[in-house]
Amino acid sequence: MKNRKNHRRSPKTVAATFALLPFYLFVLIFVLGPLIYMLALSFMTRDGWDAIGTFTLDNYVRIFDPVYIHTVIESLKLACISTALVILIGYPFGLCCAFLPGKWPSFFRWGQMLPYFVNSLLRLVGWIIILRANGLLDMLLMKLGITEEPLRLLYTYPAVIIGMVYVLLPLMFLSVQQVALQLDHTLIEASRDLGAGPVRTFFSVILPLTLPGLKTGILLSFIPSMGLFFIAAILGGNKVVLLGSLIEEQLLRAHNLPFAAALSVFMMLLTGLVSFLLLEHKRKGLK
């Protein structure tokens, strides 16, 4: 059995290796580097505006100080509430739009994507107008006679929730709609044909098959939600503090790099845990 060396393969590999190099180096230096540095920072000691290399676990311990851990818990609560609302409102929305005939799914899809080309800050401005004291919402409610006094929703917790849901909803919608569009409608027909009513069909057929989209949507809503501090700042004033706001404050104002790093690592652990749980169930669910 003779073996001829395939000399067309070597130059291919060499060329490919060179082609990959810029990407490789960029990612190594500007993505991996920062991540590793952050991890290292979280174990360092603060030194004024800088950090010195003395190993310490203080930063992590500090997270569990009452005031900070309170923020973390409140953040998680807010994230969970927002995500829950996003599921309740966004999941049916995604499904509905996927089942519409003709070009409508496409239309609504673009409808949801369009606002993304306007900076998220600007989109929240509208809510400021609506929610402020004697703003549009108040005027409407008072006109309808539902309330007598202005609700003054701006700079409250609910306002932040509204803002969060508003910004995160499209992500859930798009994920769910994309999966739902690929749903084989003959499966639904088969289910009905075999005797299942609409509710049963939903739970036995539609829900399990769109679950991946739902899970993606949950991840995409939950993961950013603790970090969107600008929503809390604009709609919640100083009353609502997120984990993200905490990091921003520590980094930009208190200049406590190690603590900010520790908080960031902590946040990544939290989101990582949630992702893992969701995806782990995904794997189990398929069996």
Partner 1 sequence: MKKHRISFAYAIIMTVLTYLPVAVVALYSFNAGRLTSVWEGFSFVWYQKLFADASIAEAIGNSLFLGIMSSVLAAVLATTAALSMPNASLPCKRAAEWTALAPMIIPEIVLGMIFLSFFSLLHLPFGMLTLFIAHTAFGIPYIYTEVRAALVSLDNSIPDAARDLGAGPLTAFFTVTMPMLFPAILSGMFLSFAMSFDDVIISIFVTGVSVNTLPIKIYTQLKTGLSPEIFALCTLMVLVALFCTLTAAFLRQCYRKKSKNHTAPMPISVHNKKDTPAIINTDNDNPQ
Partner 2 sequence: MTDTKTATPKIHTPILCVENLYKAFGDTEVLRDLSFTVASGEFLTILGASGCGKTTLLRILCGLETADSGHIRLDGKDITDAAPEKRPVNTVFQSYALFPHMTVFDNIAYPLRLRKIPKAERTVRVREMLELVQMSGYEKRYPAELSGGQKQRIAIARALVGTPKVLLLDEPLGALDFHLRRRMQTELKRIQKSLGITFVYITHDQEEALNMSDRIAIMQGGHFVQLDTPSVIYNSPANTDTARFVGESNLLPASLLSVCEEKNTALVALSGQRLSVRIGSYPITRLKQLPKDTPVTLSIRGETLQIADAIPVPSPENGICLCGTVTETALTGGIQRTTFTEDSTGISLTTARYGMASTLSAGQRISCILNHDAAVLCLNAKQNIPSPDIQEGMPK
The contact set with partner 2 (CB under 8 A) reads: 1-4, 6, 8
CB closer to partner 1 out of 84 and 130: 130
230 binds partner 1 (CB under 8 A): yes
Count the residues of the shown chain that bind partner 1, applying the rule CB under 8 A: 96
Nearest CA to 178 among 271, 108, 89, 279? 108
Choose the contact partner of 1 out of partner 1, partner 2, none; CB within 5 to 8 A by kind. Answer: partner 2
Task: Write out 157-214 in H/E/C secondary structure.
Answer: HHHHHHHHHHHHHHHHHHHHHHHHHCCCHHHHHHHHHCCCCHHHHHHHHHHHHHHHHH
Choose the contact partner of 180 out of partner 1, partner 2, none; CB within 5 to 8 A by kind. Answer: none
Choose the contact partner of 22 out of partner 1, partner 2, none; CB within 5 to 8 A by kind. Answer: partner 1
Nearest approach, Cβ of 19 to partner 2 (angstroms)?
20
Nearest approach, Cβ of 207 to partner 1 (angstroms)?
16
Choose the contact partner of 4 out of partner 1, partner 2, none; CB within 5 to 8 A by kind. Answer: partner 2
- In angstroms, the CA 269 to CA 276 distance is 10
Q: Which stretch binds partner 1 (CB under 8 A): 53-61, 66-74, 201-209, 258-266?
A: 258-266
Choose the contact partner of 275 out of partner 2, partner 1, none; CB within 5 to 8 A by kind. Answer: partner 1
111 binds partner 1 (CB under 8 A): yes
* Backbone region of residue 5 per phi and psi (left: phi > 0; alpha: psi in -120 to 50; beta: other values): beta
Nearest approach, Cβ of 146 to partner 1 (angstroms)?
18
- Residue 168: Cβ within 10 Å count: 25
134 binds partner 1 (CB under 8 A): yes
Task: Return the residues of window 139-178 that contact partner 1 according to CB under 8 A.
Answer: 166, 169-171, 174-175, 178
Residue 259 · residue 250 · CB < 8 Å: yes
**Is the C-alpha dihedral spanning 107, 223, 85, 239 positive or negative?**
negative
β-pairing, 45-47 vs 50-52, is antiparallel
63, 72, 83, 132: residue in contact with partner 1 (rule CB under 8 A): 132
24, 64, 194, 239: residue in contact with partner 1 (rule CB under 8 A): 24
- In angstroms, the CA 82 to CA 78 distance is 6
Choose the contact partner of 191 out of partner 2, partner 1, none; CB within 5 to 8 A by kind. Answer: none
Nearest approach, Cβ of 27 to partner 1 (angstroms)?
4
Phi, psi of 218 (to 5 degrees): -65, -45
CB closer to partner 2 out of 6 and 238: 6
- Residue 268: Cβ within 10 Å count: 14
Q: Which stretch binds partner 1 (CB under 8 A): 61-69, 100-108, 151-159, 199-207?
A: 100-108
